[in-house]
Amino acid sequence: MLTIKKLSVTFGQNVALEIDQEIRFEENDRIGIIGSNGAGKSTLINSLLGIVPYKGDIQTNLTPRDMAVHLQENSYSNNVSVKLIMETILGTKLKANKELQELIAYFDFDKCLAKRFNKLSGGQKQRLTLILVMLQKADLTFFDEVSSGLDFETRQILMTKLTNWYSQRSGTLCVVSHYYDELEKLTNKLLLLDKGRVVAFGRLEELFSQYCGYSVITVEDTPVTKTFFGEYRQLKAPSQVLALACHNQEDERKIVNLCIQSNINYKRRNNDIEIMTLNAKGSEEVSHG
């Protein structure tokens, strides 16, 4: 549905994005876009939406009408009620639309309907845009840091709703997030950007297998565990975590048995985006180094 053949965006002297490999978004893909601050995630979305000028070749059969977007900042008229904004954008009446009523109730948004947009809090503005984006049922939907600024509980409620909502609906999703747990729930492909370049792109399980192996066993990182598991391949991992790569089930059994015999607490993961990302970036540094 959308293929990036080549894409570059510059702001003055600063190259914000330089993609020179083919990136394909297929129908019903759930793509997580990940990368540190300034990696080019929002710039990528903005260029796909045609909001920022770019050089390159993006091929798509979609028009802007087929896309819905939840950006970090969205703005609407302050002259009319939020209810009227919703009804106008969605081309529907609240009392006739069961899905709209359901989302308003779910996100506890009833008390905001009579307000003007500029009287909503940051979190309420987020929820308004979310409801609008979820109901637009676009072929391609972008969520740019949809849960940033939300408290932990609201974030969990939102992610559960989004995951359930899109598990029953078709359409391609592009989700920018700094939260690995969100991406593990919602996405099946990953685009990892670093300093405007693509570090990795592909299905989660393929990238995991490429950079981590069959599975990963994590234990607490101490001098004792480091030595104890010295003969096993230790992956890059967040601080305090020792990540042991298992190439196959046999490997996994050996490490798990060692943990059990030695009373070491462990976790087994086969989709850990954080560890996968650290190792993908690590291999990039080595190959460029």
The answer to whether 40 contacts ligand ATP (rule: CB under 6 A) is yes
Q: Name the region of 277 (left: φ>0; alpha: ψ -120 to 50; beta: rest).
A: alpha
The answer to whether 217 contacts ligand ATP (rule: CB under 6 A) is no
CA 10 from chain center: how many Å? Answer: 24
Find the binder of ligand ATP among 37, 61, 239, 287 (CB under 6 A): 37
Find the binder of ligand ATP among 7, 19, 39, 138 (CB under 6 A): 39
Report the alpha-carbon angle 180-185-188, nearest 5: 95
Binding part of the chain for ligand ATP, among 34-42, 82-90, 102-110, 218-226 by CB under 6 A, reads 34-42
Shortest spacing between CB 173 and ligand ATP, in angstroms: 17
Binding part of the chain for ligand ATP, among 39-47, 101-109, 129-137, 226-234 by CB under 6 A, reads 39-47
Annotate 118-158 with three-state secondary structure.
HHCCHHHHHHHHHHHHHHHCCCEEEEECCCCCCCHHHHHHH
The answer to whether 168 contacts ligand ATP (rule: CB under 6 A) is no
Find the binder of ligand ATP among 25, 31, 42, 48 (CB under 6 A): 42
3 in Cβ contact with 58 (< 8 Å): yes
DSSP per-residue string spanning 32-54:
EEE-STTSSHHHHHHHHTTSS--
Find the binder of ligand ATP among 2, 4, 7, 16 (CB under 6 A): 16
Nearer to ligand ATP by Cβ, of 11 and 79: the residue is 11
106 in Cβ contact with 161 (< 8 Å): yes
Note the residues at the interface with ligand ATP (CB under 6 A): 11, 14, 16, 35, 37-43
